Amino acid sequence: MEKFDCNRRVVITGLSMITPLGNDAETSWNNMIKGVSGIGMITRFDASNYATKIAGEVKGFDPEKFIDKKDVKKMDQFIHYAAACAKMALSDSGFKINDSNAHRVGVWIGAGIGGLMTIEKYHTLLLESGPKKISPFFIPMLLINLASGQVSIMAGAKGPNASTVSACSTGTNSIGDAYKVIARGDADVMIAGGTESTITPLCISGFNAMKALSTRNDEPAKASRPFDKDRDGFVVSEGAGIVILEDLQSAVNRGTKIYAEVTGYGLSSDAYHISTPDPGADGAYYSMKNALDDARILPEDVDYINAHGTSTYYNDINETRGIKRLFKEHSKKVMVSSIKSMVGHALGAAGGIEAVAATLSVYTGIIPPTINFNEPDKECDLDYVPNVMRKTNVRYAISNSFGFGGTNATLVLKKWEKE
C-alpha cells in the first residue's frame, strides 16, 4: 500500500457488539429488530436506596471464553468487553494478523469513563485494609487506553494504537478517527469502537445527582423512551461495539464480505454548556453537515439516521431541531430511530454499538425501531420508526453521537455495491 495515498476508501469487513440484548452481534441484532428491551432491575449492587434502580446490564457474559483465565483478573470489565468484541469482530472479518502485516494493523478503542468499577473496589479496599492490599495491576486495569493496549497485545496488532475519550461521542469518534488513519495511509486495517462498564453505585449516584436518569423503576422495559412525551431521563447501560475497518483494495483482494463503506466523518462542538446541548442545535447541525460534506453527499441522499436519542428532554428536542435544520423538507422523509430505547445508554460504548447497528441496517435493509414511542413530544415530529422495525433499502445512513462538554460526532455509512 502507498503510505501517502490520502484518498483511500475504507470499508467495514467485520463487526461485533456486546449489549444488554446479547453477547454477540447476531443475538443483539435479532433482539433489537424485534423490539426487545434489555433494561431491568440493577443486580450488580443493592440499589434499593437509590432514586434509580434500573439499568441495562450485560447478562451471562464469561470473559474466560475470550481471555486467558490468568489475565482476566488483570483487567476491568470494560476491557473484557473490548477484548471479547475485538476477537469476535476479527473472526467475523476473516482477517489474519501475521508478521508480514502486523505493523499495518492498528487499534483505536475508547471509553467515556473507563475503570470506575476497579476504582470503587480498590478505594474501598484501601480504606478497609491499607495500601499493601492494592494490586500492581490496579492502574493498568482502570486506564482507558488499556482497552486498545490489551487488544493490541492479544491480537498482535503493531500499527497505530490510541484511544479517544469524548464522553458519549467516544465510540463514534474512535471509529471516525480510525477511518481517517486508513484513509490517509497510516494503516491498512483498524480495530475500532467503544466500550464501557460503569453500572456502579458511584455512577448511578452521580447521574442521579444531575437528575439525568429515568426513575421509572416500576416499568424498567418502558423506561427508555426517546422522543416520547413521557420520557424522564436516560437509562445507564454497558457493553461494547467494535468494527474492523479495512482499506478497500485489501478487502477486495481478500474476497471478503463488505458490510458497508465509511464515506464521511464530521465533528463539532456546542461551546455552550457542560451537559445541556445548545438550544439552537448548532452542534448537531454542524456535526451532521460536516459529515455529509466529508462524504460529498446531499442531505436528501440519506435514508436513515441512527439517532443519539438518549430519552432526555433537551437532547431529543435538539437532535430533532438539528435534523430539521439540515435536512429541511427531506426531514419528513428520512427515517430516524434510537436503539437506546432497547439497549439504554452505554456512554462511551454507545457510538460503537450504534455504528454496528447502523452498519447492519445498511447491510440488511432493516431499520430497528424506537420502542416505547407512544405519544410524541410536540417538538419531536419526525419519522422515528415507532415500535416496529421496518424493511427498506438503505443506501446512505448516518450515526450520531453527542456528549457532555458539547462534543459531537457523526459517521456516514454507504451501502456497498460491487464495482
pLDDT of residue 299: 98
CB 353 within 8 A of CB 359: no
> What is the pTM assigned to this prediction?
0.97
Q: Is the pLDDT of residue 141 over 80?
A: yes
Q: How far is residue 34 from each of residues 31, 39, 169, 296, 389, measured CA to CA in Å?
A: 5, 15, 26, 34, 7
**Please, which pLDDT band fits residue 145 given cuts at 50, 70 and 90?**
very high
Q: What is the mean pLDDT of residues 204-222?
A: 98
Domain 265-414 fold is Peroxisomal Thiolase; Chain A, domain 1 (3.40.47)
pLDDT digits (tens, 9 = 90+) for 223-233: 999 999 999 99
Which of 80, 85, 203, 308 is an active site residue?
Answer: 308
**Please, which pLDDT band fits residue 3 given cuts at 50, 70 and 90?**
very low
Check residue 395 and report its DSSP letter: S
Q: Cα separation of 181 and 165, whole Å? A: 17
Q: Cα separation of 118 and 125, whole Å? A: 10
CB 16 within 8 A of CB 193: no
What the block records as the C-alpha cell of 137 is 495491576
**Please, which pLDDT band fits residue 6 given cuts at 50, 70 and 90?**
low
Instruction: List strand residue ranges (DSSP E) for 137-296, in order.
Output: 161-162, 189-196, 239-247, 260-269
Domain boundaries, the chain: 10-254, 265-414
Q: Cα separation of 54 and 59, whole Å? A: 14
pLDDT of residue 418: 82
pLDDT digits (tens, 9 = 90+) for 44-82: 999 999 999 999 999 999 999 999 999 999 999 999 999
Check residue 369 and report its DSSP letter: P
- Tell me, yes or no, if 330 is annotated catalytic: no
Which of 80, 85, 345, 380 is an active site residue?
Answer: 345
Q: Cα separation of 350 and 411, whole Å? A: 13
Q: Is the pLDDT of residue 162 over 70?
A: yes
pLDDT digits (tens, 9 = 90+) for 361-400: 999 999 999 999 999 999 999 999 999 999 999 999 999 9
Which of 85, 168, 203, 380 is an active site residue?
Answer: 168
Q: Cα separation of 408 and 285, whole Å? A: 10
- Tell me, yes or no, if 80 is annotated catalytic: no
Q: Cα separation of 80 and 243, whole Å? A: 16
What are phi and psi for residue 417, nearest 5 degrees?
-125, 120
Question: 10-254 sits in which CATH class?
Answer: alpha beta
**Please, which pLDDT band fits residue 306 given cuts at 50, 70 and 90?**
very high
**Please, which pLDDT band fits residue 7 given cuts at 50, 70 and 90?**
confident
- Tell me, yes or no, if 273 is annotated catalytic: no
Instruction: List strand residue ranges (DSSP E) for 58-165, in order.
Output: 105-110, 161-162
pLDDT digits (tens, 9 = 90+) for 73-124: 999 999 999 999 999 999 999 999 999 999 999 999 999 999 999 999 999 9
**Please, which pLDDT band fits residue 1 given cuts at 50, 70 and 90?**
very low
